Structure 1
Amino acid sequence: MDLGSDYKQPMPAIRLFGLPTDINSSFERGAAAGPAAIRAMLWSDRGNRASELGREIGVDIALTDDGDLSLTEDTAQDDAMIRRHVAYVHEDGEIPLALGGDHAVTFPLVEATAACHGPVTILHFDAHPDLYDDFAGNPRSHASPFARICESGHAKRLVQVGIRTLTNHCREQAARFGVEIVPMTDFSPDRVPVLGGPLYISIDLDGLDPSAAPGVAHPEPGGLTVRELLAVLYKQTVPIVGADIVELHPGRDVGGVTAILGAKLVRELAALIDRNGPYRP
């Protein structure tokens, strides 16, 4: 579905695609259905395509929906498929915007983006730091992607927002990798820095409070409001080279509100990518 054919000068064009996998989920599978649920709300007549930044998909923003990748139940094969797709997107001069799936997909997404642009700055929203060296014996667990990213040298800076489940092990990992954690205690968007580029944004929906995003496998009270998350996004001014929205579990959603939120975040991320312009080293 190409909604950008009338857009004269895409700055830059965005490629949306789904990653329907949850094979690395640690507690309960269900996130594989997330991309379809977000996409259904994004293109539904329930709402329109406008963002709060004043830009509208299909009018001001060039966005192509590639549908879902045909992932398997094999992590190595899926990682390779994700890396190839992201490489194709970047080769076309476009920006990947991925819908998960569990958070394990962020590792190959960032890996492929860093292969194109060099190490990236990452802005990560989550209730959990996802820094486990391995979780339950699985080094590719959705609780471990940022450990894999950091140890591989793909992140020149990692800032995590919304964290409220920091174990001793993850605290040690954060110190080891130089991760900057903005805790929820006394949280204010002003405490999140304006970051340099190239910037990658990863949004785990459980970073938001369960009152706003109940449809996740690991709800954690005391999270971000939608307005706080948007305020942090809008203050970022550098070019964005990739983004993902992950961990929607439609089976745990209430009235589709988390899927609707996921669709809103697609619009707002697309508008931010468009507003901030293309990355030029």
Structure 2
Amino acid sequence: MPAIRLFGLPTDINSSFERGAAAGPAAIREALWSDRGNMASELGPGIGPEIGSDILLTDDGDLPLTEDTAQDDAAIRRHVAYAREDGDIPLALGGDHAVTFPLVEAAAACHGPVTILHFDAHPDLYDDFAGNPRSHASPFARICEAGHAKRLVQVGIRTLTHHCREQAARFGVEIVPMADFSPDRVPVLDGPLYISIDLDGLDPSAAPGVAHPEPGGLTVRELLAVLHKQTAPIVGADIVELHPGRDIGGVTAIVGAKLVRELAALIDRNGPYRP
């Protein structure tokens, strides 16, 4: 049966404030495979690396990234292409949010423009940040201007600068802010669907291990409610911006591992994309 292909992107070269997210994939992977928990999902099926598991989750390990952004982008696109050739669905662990650009670029190369569901405290729409157009504050500007998104819905946003408001209007981004938030305000989206989860979209009480904590965020339960209502086929996903050096008791890594299980179960439940 087709597998969900987990792989890590241990890079934070495009972080704007503090490096540390490169260690995120290893921390999530340690929590995922730890005997502290189990591989059950809230949707029902169990996830495992063995043939015979309800949902097959294979772990390709971390890609050998170089801190040369152009080379790393090409390596990420190649890896997604290899997964798609096998009929598998890529699930990436960041790393900083800059990695979402080549991930979506690769998905769009296979499927055409995708619908994106993006969880974040920040819209990441800067034309460039501190002179870096590939900053982790800019991936969705690059995605939109390249035409890779047919629809972009952002959930959890609570820091929106004047420039990013202009960018959102320019690209037709749909922002569901945290003020008076309810999962019911998030639409059920069409496929092909790509899901990007920046862990700072969660409230710092639930996910302290991030470089840019912003109070007033989503609960884990609210994020799961938005995920579980989505019915479209998912063609790729990422979980990014875990900074283990700022984590407390590994709780953010444990949340990241839970999101791996829930995304895997959702990908399996919603089925393959057929244009």
- Mark yes or no: TM-score above 0.5: yes
Taking a change above 3 Å as real, the CA distance of residues 254 and 266 of structure 1, as seen in their structure-2 partners, is same
| Greater CA drift, 153-162 or 85-94 | 85-94
Equivalents in 2 of 1:55, 1:123: separation in Å? 27
Question: How many Å separate the matches in 1 of 2:6 and 2:51?
Answer: 12
- Where 1:127 maps in the other structure, the secondary structure is coil
8 Å contact kept, 2:16–2:135 = yes
| Contact 2:2-2:86 within 8 A present in 1 as well | no
Report the counterpart of residue 197 of structure 2 in structure 1.
203
- Contact map agreement 1:12 1:277 (CA 8 A) in 2: no
Q: What's the offset of the Cα at 1:269? A: 0.2
Give secondary structure in 1 for the equivalent of 2:269: helix
The answer to whether the 8 Å contact 1:159/1:181 transfers is yes
Local SS of the residue matching 1:62: strand
**5+ residue gaps, structure 2:** none
Shift in Å, 1:260? 0.3
Separation in 1, partners of 2:49, 2:32: 15
Query: Is contact 1:200-1:240 (8 Å) kept?
Result: yes
Q: What stretches of structure 1 move > 4 A for 4+ residues in a row?
A: 54-58
CA drift of 1:56 comes to 11
Match of 1:48 in 2: 38
In the alignment, is the contact (CA less than 8 A) between 1:125 and 1:207 conserved in 2? yes
Match of 2:252 in 1: 258
Against the structure 1 CA distance between its residues 214 and 91, is the aligned structure 2 distance closer, same or farther, given a 3 Å change threshold?
Answer: same
Shift in CA distance, 58/213, structure 1 to aligned 2, threshold 3 Å: farther
2:131, 2:181 → 1: CA distance? Answer: 33
Task: Note closer, same or farther for the CA distance 1:69–1:58 as it changes in structure 2 (3 Å cut).
Answer: farther
Identity %: 93
Shift of 1:142: 0.0
Matched residue SS, 1:232: helix
Q: Secondary structure at the match of 1:162?
A: strand
CA contact (8 A) 2:98 2:135 kept: yes
Deviation at 1:63, TM superposition (A): 1.1
When normalised by structure 2's length, the TM-score is 0.97
Shift of 1:198: 0.2
1:251-276: per-residue Cα shift (whole Å, max 9, x none)? 00000000000000000000000000
Contact 1:57 1:267 in 2 (8 A): no
Which TM-score applies when normalising by structure 1? 0.95
2:67 to 73, 84, 87: 73
List aligned pairs for 1:108-257, cutoff 5 A: 108-257=102-251
Give, in whole Å, the separation in 1 of the partners of 2:191 and 2:274. Answer: 10
**Contact (CA 8 Å) 1:12, 1:274: kept in 2 or not?**
no
Query: Residues 37, 251 of structure 1: CA spacing in aligned structure 2 closer, same or farther, 3 A cutoff?
Result: same
1:162-219, CA deviations, whole angstroms, 9 ceiling, x for partnerless residues?
A: 0000000000000000000000000000000000000000000000000000000000
- Give 1:12 deviation, angstroms: 4.0
Contact 2:50–2:56 (8 Å) recurs in 1: no
1:23 corresponding residue in structure 2: 13
- Quote the Cα distance in structure 2 between the aligned partners of 1:102 and 1:16: 16
Matched residue SS, 2:103: helix
Counterpart of 1:63 in 2: which secondary structure? strand
C-alpha separation in 1, matches of 2:256 and 2:128: 28
Three-state SS of the structure 1 residue aligned to 2:80 is helix
Cα 1:186/1:158, change in 2 over 3 Å: same
Aligned-partner SS, 1:215: coil
1:73 CA displacement: 1.3
For 1:161, what is the secondary structure of its paired residue?
A: strand
- Tell me how far 1:59 sits from its aligned partner: 2.1
1:60-83: per-residue Cα shift (whole Å, max 9, x none)? 101110000000110000000000
Number of residue pairs aligned between Structure 1 and Structure 2: 271
Question: SS of the residue aligned with 1:274?
Answer: helix
Assess if the C-alpha contact under 8 Å between 1:50 and 1:56 holds in 2. Answer: no
